[in-house]
Amino acid sequence: MKGVVFNILEDMVTEKGGLMMWQKVIDKAGVEGGYTAVSTYSDDELFSIVGAVVAELDLPAETVISAFGTYMFGQLASRYPVFVDSCDDLFSFLESIDSVIHLEVKKLLTETNLPSISCERVGDDQLVMDYRSPRRLCVLAEGLIYGAAEHYQRPIMIEHPVCMHKGSDHCDIRVQLTHE
């Protein structure tokens, strides 16, 4: 995983809990910290830090990972506006992830270990995203989708009826626009 992901996690933890909290988390995870945005670090290192945050906050892992995804989307969109500049609505953005956005991610961050995502619209208000990745980070994907919905100011609801964590070979993430 790229250092920028670690940098964003550090920003989130520091923003919510202060510098002491980040130091505590780093110590608990048994890692050194000090990540460079474009360098690559092991996924396990990221998971150790996330595990330490989960233990520190005493929250379910899914809650923390999803919140991190939402926070990460906003950060990525402001650090790399090119990711969101090409689309002006939520569904076209989500549909362009596999073909357009991930190419930009590969170019800017040389990250190649990305999930494969294909989308199918069901009527005007629902998009079903077929998520496949050996990392099985579908909860992070959900958080990122919530972040995208905030960015495009479209309230959504997500259902996740088919999941790799429940024995399927992929996840179905159903994104439903809500009209509040």
Residue with tokens 């961050």: 109
3-class SS at 118? Answer: strand
Measured from the CB atom, the residue of 24 and 160 that comes closer to Zn ion is 160
The pair of structure tokens assigned to 2 is 């790229």
Stretch that binds Zn ion, among 16-24, 29-37, 104-112, 165-173 (CB under 5 A): 165-173
For residue 171, state whether it binds Zn ion (rule: CB under 5 A).
yes
Measured from the CB atom, the residue of 29 and 97 that comes closer to Zn ion is 97
Binding residue for Zn ion, selected from 138, 145, 149, 156, defined by CB under 5 A: 138
Q: How far is CA 52 from CA 13, 27, 163, in A?
A: 11, 9, 25
# chain residues binding Zn ion, by CB under 5 A:
3
Stretch that binds Zn ion, among 62-70, 80-88, 96-104, 130-138 (CB under 5 A): 130-138
The amino acid at residue 172 is D
Using alpha carbons, select from 152, 11, 155, 17 the residue that is nearest to residue 75.
Answer: 11
> Measured from the CB of residue 50, what is the shortest distance to Zn ion in angstroms?
17
Q: How far apart are CA 69 and CA 142, in angstroms?
A: 7
Q: How far apart are CA 79 and CA 52, in angstroms?
A: 26
> Measured from the CB of residue 176, what is the shortest distance to Zn ion in angstroms?
17
Task: By CB under 5 A, name the binding residues for Zn ion.
Answer: 138, 163, 171
